[in-house]
Structure 1
Amino acid sequence: MNTICALCGTPLTSTDMLVGKNKLADGGYLCAECFNKAITVNRDLINNLDQFYFAEITGMILKSKIDASQNPGSSAYAGSNNFEYDAPTRLDEIKDQIVALNARLSVLANEEVNELDKVLDGDEKLVAIAECIDLHSNREGIIFSTQRRVIFMDKKFLGGVIKREFTHQDITSIEQVENLLYSVLKINTRGGVAEFKLHNKSDGRVFCTIGKGYFNEPEKQMSQQPRQPQSLYQSTLTPSSQGSSNTPKESPEVIFEQLEKLGKLKEMGILSEEEFSSQKAKLLQRL
Structure 2
Amino acid sequence: MNTICALCGTLLTETDLSVGKNKLADGGYLCAACFTKAITINRDLINTLDQFYFAEITGMMLKSKIEASQNPGGIQSNANNRYEYDAPIRLDEIKDQIVALNARLSILANEEVNELANVLDRDERLLAIAEGIDLQSNREGIIFSTQKRVAFIDKKFLGGVVKNEFLIHDISSIDHIENLLYSILKIYTYRGSAQFKLHNKNDGRAFSNVQNRSTSYNENEFTQNSSPFQAFAQTIPDLVEENVYSTGKSDSGAIFEQLEKLGKLRENGILTDEEFAEQKKKLLDQL
TM superposition score category, shorter chain reference: 0.5 to 0.7
User: Does 1:173 pair with 2:178?
Assistant: no
Deviations 1:155-213 (A, max 9, x none): 11222210101110111111111111111110001110000011111111111044444
Correspondence list, 1:1-287, <5 A: 25-26=30-31, 27-28=33-34, 29=37, 35-36=41-42, 43=44, 45-46=45-46, 54-55=54-55, 57=57, 89-215=89-215, 255=261
Q: CA shift at 1:57, angstroms?
A: 3.3
Contact 1:187–1:193 (CA under 8 A) maintained in structure 2: yes
Matching residue's letter, 1:176: H
Q: Deviations over 1:75-122 (max 9, x none)?
A: xxxxx9xxx996951111111111111100011111111111011111
- Counterpart CA distance in 1 for 2:110 and 2:178 is 26
Give 1:25's aligned amino acid: L
Q: Secondary structure at the match of 2:185?
A: strand
Q: Distance in 1 between matches of 2:249 and 2:258?
A: 19
The letter of the residue matching 1:115 is E
Query: What SS class does the counterpart of residue 169 from structure 1 fall into?
Result: helix
Normalised TM-score (structure 1): 0.53
Letter in 2 for 1:203: D
- CA distance in 2 between counterparts of 1:257 and 1:120 reads 36
SS in 2 for 1:151: strand
CA deviations 1:9-33 (Å, max 9, x no partner) are: xxxxxxxxxxxxxxx925554597x
Would you say the 8 A contact 1:55–1:99 is kept in 2?
yes
Return closer, same or farther for 1:248/1:113 CA change in 2, 3 Å cut-off.
farther
Judged with a 3 Å threshold, the aligned counterparts in structure 2 of structure 1 residues 247 and 163 are, in CA distance, closer, same or farther, namely: farther
Residue 50 (structure 1) shift: 11
Change (3 A) 1:142 1:253: farther
Change (3 A) 1:185 1:59: same
SS at match of 1:114: helix
1:197–1:254: structure 2 CA closer, same or farther, 3 Å change rule? Answer: farther
Q: Helix, strand or coil for the counterpart of 2:196? A: strand
Return closer, same or farther for 1:117/1:254 CA change in 2, 3 Å cut-off: farther
Structure 1 distance, partners of 2:163, 2:260, is 32
**Paired AA for residue 113 in structure 2:** V
Runs of 4+ in 1 over 4 A off after TM superposition: 47-53, 84-88, 243-260
Counterpart amino acid of 2:140? E
> Unaligned regions of 5+ residues in structure 2, if any?
1-6, 8-28, 61-79, 218-240, 242-247, 271-278
* 1:209–1:255 distance in 2 versus 1, CA, 3 Å: farther
Q: Kindly report the root-mean-square deviation, in angstroms, between the aligned alpha carbons of the 2 structures.
A: 4.8
1:52–1:89 Cα change, 3 Å: closer
Q: 1:31 to 1:136 in 2, by over 3 A?
A: farther
